[in-house]
Amino acid sequence: MRKLILVALIILLILPAAFAAGQKGTAEASAKTVTVFGAFVDEEARRFEEAIKPFEERTGIDVIYEGSKDFETLISVRVEGGNPPDIAGLPQPGLMVNFASQGKLVPMWSSLIATIDKNYAPVWKSLGSYDGTPYGVFHRVNAKSFVWYPKKAWATAGYQVPTTWNELTALMDKMVANGHTPWAVGIESGGATGWVGTDWIEDIMLRTAGPDVYDKWVSNEIPFNAPEVKQAFDVLGKIWLNPKYVYGGTNTILTTSFGDAQRPMFDNPPKAWMHRQGNFITGFFPENIQANLTDEVGVFPLPAINDEFGIPVLGGGDQFVVFNDRPEVRQFMEFLATWESGESWAKAGGALFPYLNQDLDAYPNEIERSLAEALVNAKVFRFDASDLMPAQVGAGSFWTGIVDWVTGKPLDTMLNEVQRSWPK
């Protein structure tokens, strides 16, 4: 009996080996696959898969996309562990620089670089480069410098879209005089709480100090507690820290999730009348608003503060980088650098693309079309500073600094702390 059990056990153990042998064969015979790992999930992941279908149908290459909300942690673990995906969509250029400096990435090859030069504005190529070598291809991008408002309520109240900062402040005061609350703001975002505030500061920095100072700020050539930064916080503080200007005051700013923050705009009557956020926010609007987006919602770029710098556009995007160099991986990267890879997602909505030769008619409504136009035509485009700064600051002390400042910490103390946290 004991022998019998042993024999059975051994057979059971050998079985998988037979499987393994069979498996090898089938894997060889089946289609080539490319694994892609990214930060977007659910509906966005579905739209991405939809967008790459033309490629899969044309080439027969199977592209397996896997998304995770903990992408930034997991990608490092996977790369460290020697198990990187073929391609990863990095939401932060800093991650690309990190991997590129460690020699983990495959640099872009000449035919792809030619495609990038043809299809993108130069800023995207330089954002995807480390030490002069391009490593990344941008696909879906976002632009953040927009103010959304409930169109119908505005028409009834007789509010006009402001084109200068003075007009904006005048409008805010007019709203307060009418008993309205101008802004809806919420910065809660779980482990990333505070990033909404960093976006505001960056937009204001670009408008008060200009792109050159902005770049120096990003690289810490001017310290975080420089007068220019302080000035940006002062401009923001005039809005955020004034309970008349923001719905619910600072407590609501701190505890409302960034996605829900826009909701008070769509109450009847609106509890707040403006909301500054990136193009993705339309996906968070109530369903009845989304169904009628162009009738219900208006949008304008955050006005210029200093005429010298005009209306810059602040944004970000996922750049795709290569870890494993194989022909099918290269083929897919070349595809991502073309408008074809974005078209169906643009049609589905909720995404902007940077391609110069894109067909603006593909966007499903007037609003997204105008955002895409603003993005492609912007004279000054800057990447989200907090994504460019060292993680210690950009994903750490800058976020918490915003939270501390809104909670009441003195501005100078907070700015000094952020500067101190900058890695030497």
Partner 1 sequence: MMERRIEGKNLGAQALVAIGRVAVSLFVPIVAFVILWAGFVFLRDSNASQGIIALVAIIWGVGGVAMLFWVADWVVNRLPVMAAKKLQPFVFVGPALVILAWYLFLPTMRSLYLSFFDAQSKTFVGLANYVFAFTDSKMLESFVNNLLWIILGTGGAVGFGLVIALLADRSRFEKVFKSLIFMPMAISFVGAGVIWRFVYAYKPAGEDQIGLLNALVSLFGKDPQAWFTLRPWNNIFLIVILIWLQTGYAMVIISAALKGVPDSIIEAGRIDGAGEMRIIRSIIVPYIFSTLVTVSTTIIIISLKIFDIVFTMTNGNYGTEVIASMQYKQMFRFYHYGRGSAIAIVLVIAVIPVMWYNLRQFGKREGF
Give the binding range for partner 1 (CB under 8 A) out of 157-165, 190-198, 204-212, 230-238.
190-198
> In the range 97-126, which residues lie near partner 1 by CB under 8 A?
98
Among 170, 244, 407, 410, binds partner 1 (CB under 8 A): 407
> In the range 370-399, which residues lie near partner 1 by CB under 8 A?
390-392, 395-396
| Cα–Cα distance for residue pair 193/270, rounded to 1 Å | 25
CB of 393 to partner 1, least distance (A): 9
Q: Which two tokens stand for residue 304?
A: 């210029």
CB of 17 to partner 1, least distance (A): 3
Q: Is 291 near partner 1 (CB under 8 A)?
A: no
Give the binding range for partner 1 (CB under 8 A) out of 14-22, 50-58, 117-125, 218-226.
14-22
CB of 246 to partner 1, least distance (A): 10
CB of 406 to partner 1, least distance (A): 9
Q: Is 417 near partner 1 (CB under 8 A)?
A: yes
Question: CB burial class (10 A; 0-12, 13-18, 19+) of residue 77?
Answer: exposed
Q: Is 286 near partner 1 (CB under 8 A)?
A: no
Among 1, 3, 4, 20, binds partner 1 (CB under 8 A): 20
Looking at the DSSP bridge assignments, the partners of residue 164 are 304
What H or E segment, with its residue span, contains residue 74?
helix 71-80
> In the range 36-75, which residues lie near partner 1 by CB under 8 A?
72-73
Q: Is 324 near partner 1 (CB under 8 A)?
A: no
- Backbone φ and ψ for 314, nearest 5 degrees, come out as -105, 140
CA atoms within 13 A on the CB side of 277: 26
| Cα–Cα distance for residue pair 157/140, rounded to 1 Å | 36
CB atoms within 10 A of CB 406: 22
CB of 123 to partner 1, least distance (A): 26
Residue type present at position 130: Y
Q: Is 248 near partner 1 (CB under 8 A)?
A: yes
Q: Is 251 near partner 1 (CB under 8 A)?
A: yes
Contact by Cβ (8 Å): 225, 416: yes
CB of 207 to partner 1, least distance (A): 28
CB of 355 to partner 1, least distance (A): 32
| Cα–Cα distance for residue pair 86/36, rounded to 1 Å | 6
CB of 16 to partner 1, least distance (A): 4
CB of 400 to partner 1, least distance (A): 6
Give the binding range for partner 1 (CB under 8 A) out of 7-15, 166-174, 220-228, 365-373.
7-15
- Backbone φ and ψ for 131, nearest 5 degrees, come out as 55, 35
Specify the residue, 56 or 417, whose C-beta has the smaller distance to partner 1. Answer: 417
Among 9, 155, 170, 356, binds partner 1 (CB under 8 A): 9
Among 60, 191, 227, 269, binds partner 1 (CB under 8 A): 191
Q: Is 133 near partner 1 (CB under 8 A)?
A: no
Specify the residue, 111 or 407, whose C-beta has the smaller distance to partner 1. Answer: 407
| Cα–Cα distance for residue pair 382/314, rounded to 1 Å | 5
> In the range 72-91, which residues lie near partner 1 by CB under 8 A?
72-73, 76
Among 1, 3, 25, 27, binds partner 1 (CB under 8 A): 27
Among 1, 3, 4, 12, binds partner 1 (CB under 8 A): 12
CB of 152 to partner 1, least distance (A): 22
Among 25, 82, 158, 190, binds partner 1 (CB under 8 A): 190
Q: Is 177 near partner 1 (CB under 8 A)?
A: no
User: What residues make contact with partner 1 under the rule CB under 8 A?
Assistant: 6, 9-10, 12-17, 19-20, 23-24, 27, 72-73, 76, 98, 190-194, 247-249, 251-252, 254-255, 390-392, 395-396, 400, 403-404, 407, 417, 423
